[in-house]
Amino acid sequence: MGIVGGAVVGLLFPGQGSQYVGMGRDLHDEFAAARLAFDEADEALGFSLTRLCFEGPESELTLTHNAQPAILAHSVATWRCVEACLGEVGMAAGHSLGEFSAYVAAEAFSYADGLRTVRRRGELMRASGEARAGTMAAVLSLDDDAVRRVCREASTADELCVPANFNSPGQTVISGDVAAVERAMQLAKAAGSRRALRLSVSGAFHSPLMKVAEPGLREQLAAVPLRAPRFPVVSIVSAAAVREPEQARDLLLEQLTSAVRWTDVIHTMATAGVRRFVELGPGAVLTGLLKRIDREADGQAVGTAAEIRALT
């Protein structure tokens, strides 16, 4: 198990929504390993992802099929800059898209295959949202059972709403058909939710509405060589450590229509002995969630040149 400062190390990789214009520019300017990572991304994808990350425009960067490889590239660039100082890693996990970054770091996917796979995943997810309009909403200060009940009550035979992200106690995201999600938001407020807020997304991610994307992603995953990860990756679907490549392939496909069990993922890692969590990539969303899930855990976000210098 990896030890930094006397604690077992677990890696966390952020998901979609963490992207921002200018992401990774300071890493690229200061670290040769990061420059190489961005150069490899451009070559693998056949366009300048680097320019899009550094210069935008934001409207293009936030598109699902662009944001996903951009976040993976930033995460991998950061990982390459800090890998030597972290030493052996105990476990890793990633929030939705971030799970692909975790598998790249664990050398289950090649970096180029990871980039092309999440690019394709983003295209398929965007097309699913265009084929059947859906949305997502954040629901605060309701427990998980109450959110499940609200979703059931808001759903009809033709309009579906389901829990999509169990991010931390009292912070859940719901997903589904627009009308059903709108009903669920009102029901959540009536049930005592402090806030229910529509999210700016292009589809009902992590819900059955994404099922039309499954054949395309299954084909993409089948075409990609996948090896046993160098360290276990905790699945957001099962909240269990994955060590076998075929199990990883199946769970990455199942992600599309399954809820993100992030709270359970953190508990799994903590139970396995992880006490030091290092978030690699843009932003610090997962580090913030960590404190709400496990106050005893030590979390640190690393995604800028200054943060890398502080870590090393």
Instruction: Convert the pLDDT of each residue in 136-151 to its tens digit.
Output: 999 999 999 999 999 9
The pLDDT assigned to 269 comes to 97
CATH T-level topology, domain 134-202: Alpha-Beta Plaits (3.30.70)
Sheet holding 171-177, edge to edge: 161-168, 171-177, 134-140, 195-198
Q: Are 268 and 128 in contact (CB under 8 A)?
A: no
What band does 4 get if pLDDT is binned at 50, 70 and 90? very low
Instruction: Convert the pLDDT of each residue in 293-308 to its tens digit.
Output: 999 899 999 999 999 9
The pLDDT assigned to 88 comes to 78
The pLDDT assigned to 275 comes to 87
Determine the Cα–Cα distance for residues 118 and 124; give it in Å rounded to an integer.
10
The pLDDT assigned to 7 comes to 59
The larger pLDDT score, comparing residue 274 to residue 311, is at 274
Tokens standing for 222? 């089948």
CATH T-level topology, domain 3-129+210-311: Malonyl-Coenzyme A Acyl Carrier Protein; domain 2 (3.40.366)
The pLDDT assigned to 185 comes to 98
Question: Is residue 39 predicted with pLDDT exceeding 60?
Answer: yes
Same fold, 3-129+210-311 and 134-202: no
CA angle 82, 86, 88 (to 5 degrees): 130
Instruction: Convert the pLDDT of each residue in 42-75 to its tens digit.
Output: 999 999 999 999 999 999 999 999 999 999 999 9
Question: Is residue 3 predicted with pLDDT exceeding 80?
Answer: no
Question: Is residue 2 predicted with pLDDT exceeding 80?
Answer: no
Q: Are 147 and 171 in contact (CB under 8 A)?
A: no
Q: Of 78, 37, 32, which is closest to residue 307 (Cα–Cα)?
A: 78
**Domain segments of the chain as ranges:** 3-129+210-311, 134-202
- 239 DSSP 8-state letter: -
Question: Is residue 172 predicted with pLDDT exceeding 50?
Answer: yes
The pLDDT assigned to 312 comes to 60
Instruction: Convert the pLDDT of each residue in 100-144 to its tens digit.
Output: 999 999 999 999 999 999 999 999 999 999 999 999 999 999 999
Q: Of 142, 154, 136, 260, which is closest to residue 198 (Cα–Cα)?
A: 136
The whole-number average pLDDT for the span 150-155 is: 98
Q: Are 197 and 137 in contact (CB under 8 A)?
A: yes
Determine the Cα–Cα distance for residues 235 and 155; give it in Å rounded to an integer.
27
The whole-number average pLDDT for the span 265-272 is: 96
The whole-number average pLDDT for the span 23-28 is: 97
Q: Are 41 and 54 in contact (CB under 8 A)?
A: no
* Percentage of the residues of the chain whose pLDDT score is greater than 70: 97
Average of per-residue pLDDT values in the chain: 95
Q: Which residue among 28, 74, 95, 206 is the active-site one?
A: 206
Q: Is 206 a catalytic residue?
A: yes
Q: Which residue among 18, 75, 96, 202 is the active-site one?
A: 96
Question: Is residue 246 predicted with pLDDT exceeding 80?
Answer: yes
Tokens standing for 6? 């006397």
Q: Is 28 a catalytic residue?
A: no
Q: Is 62 helix (H, G, I), strand (E, B) or coil?
A: coil
